[in-house]
Structure 1
Amino acid sequence: MRLSLHTDYALRVLMFLAAEERQASVDEIARAYGVSHNHLVKVARRLGELGLVEARRGRGGGISLAQDPGAINVGALVREMESLGGFVECFDAGANGCPVAGVCGLQGALTLALGDFLKRLDSYVLADLVPRKGAFRRRLALPNALVEQP
């Protein structure tokens, strides 16, 4: 299984904000990760719609976490960001053209595997993804990266 770039970037944005514990611009986050500013704008907008980040416009604006990192469940985020109904063709009854759908065991096996995957992610919160904030900041060459915080 591979998460979409949208989900990957959403996790990265949230991890950045959790490590920095401050408001940051989308441009700053894009530069730190070396990714597309335009794509991160879309991701930040979606995270705002989900109530995970707050955005402030204008000079000195940016985004910050809207919730405590210990309250943001990784499995729930992945469910919101991914379109899991299209995991394989037979998961989407409207678009399913597989001639063996309903008589093979693949759909059932994949349903269980996807459920197990999401259940595992449900055991993590955002805070778990950034256990060493100082090391995280150093890796991204962020200011104040030399001071290790718990």
Structure 2
Amino acid sequence: MRLTTMTDYSLRLLMYVAQRPEQLCTIAEVAAAYGISEAHLMKITHQLGLAGFIETVRGKGGGMRLARAPGEINLGAVVRSVEPDFNLVECLATGNTCTLTGQCRLTAIVSGALRQFLDHLDGHTLADVLPAHGDGPAQARTMKLQPLRRRPAVSESGK
């Protein structure tokens, strides 16, 4: 399974904002920190706001902050709110046209794996993914940000 870029960026945005509870963060600063598109982050910010994970303040001096404490933001809920679908195989999709439907047990196995994946995420909050520095509260922790790096493509031979 692979999460979409939108989910990845959503989690990164939440982590960035969580580490700066004393300030309003802007789309421009998050985009600059991660080297990603402001336009893409604008869509993500809107969606996270609608889902109740962040609050936004418009106008000069505006920005965003968490709507709840990091320990109250469930990672499974974030992923479910951002991912467009979880149709890992065709038989899980609406409008399934797989000729094996009804004769194959793959659907149950893949559905079980997806359930376990989401259950695992449900067991964690945003506070769990913030970097640990000393014994201070998760909200006050700071993390050195690194730009996104793409994984090198794997050749067809797997090497």
Q: TM-score range by the shorter chain?
A: 0.7 to 0.9
TM-score of the aligned structures, taking structure 1 as reference length: 0.86
Higher RCO, Cα 8 Å, sep 6+: 2
Q: Is the aligned partner of 1:114 residue 2:120?
A: no
Tell me how large the CA RMSD over aligned residues is: 1.5
Which consecutive unaligned segments of at least 5 residues does structure 2 have?
A: 133-140, 148-159
Q: Deviations over 1:65-109 (max 9, x none)?
A: 011101000011111111334332111232x11100121121111
Q: Is the aligned partner of 1:43 residue 2:49?
A: no
> Corresponding residue for 1:84?
85
Superposed, which structure 2 residues align to 1:114-133 within 5 Å?
114-132=114-132, 133=141
Q: Give the SS at the match of 2:11.
A: helix
Deviation at 1:140, TM superposition (A): 4.6
Give 2:55's aligned amino acid: E
- Whether the 8 Å CA contact 2:33–2:145 is kept in 1: the answer is no
Closer, same or farther in 2 for the Cα pair 1:115/1:71, shift >3 Å? same
> Corresponding residue for 1:139?
145
Deviation at 1:43, TM superposition (A): 0.1
Which whole-Å CA distance do the structure 2 matches of 1:93 and 1:101 have between them? 13
Give the structure with the higher percent helix. Answer: 1
Which consecutive unaligned segments of at least 5 residues does structure 1 have?
A: 142-150
Q: Deviations over 1:12-33 (max 9, x none)?
A: 1100011122310001000000
Worse overlay, 96-105 or 65-74: 96-105
Give 1:77's aligned amino acid: V
> Corresponding residue for 2:33?
32
Q: Give the SS at the match of 1:64.
A: strand
Q: Give the SS at the match of 1:97.
A: coil
- Whether the 8 Å CA contact 2:70–2:126 is kept in 1: the answer is yes
TM-score of the aligned structures, taking structure 2 as reference length: 0.82
Which whole-Å CA distance do the structure 1 matches of 2:69 and 2:145 have between them? 23
Percent of aligned positions that are identical: 43
Which whole-Å CA distance do the structure 1 matches of 2:67 and 2:2 have between them? 27
Which whole-Å CA distance do the structure 1 matches of 2:2 and 2:104 have between them? 23
Worse overlay, 84-93 or 120-129: 84-93
> Corresponding residue for 1:16?
16
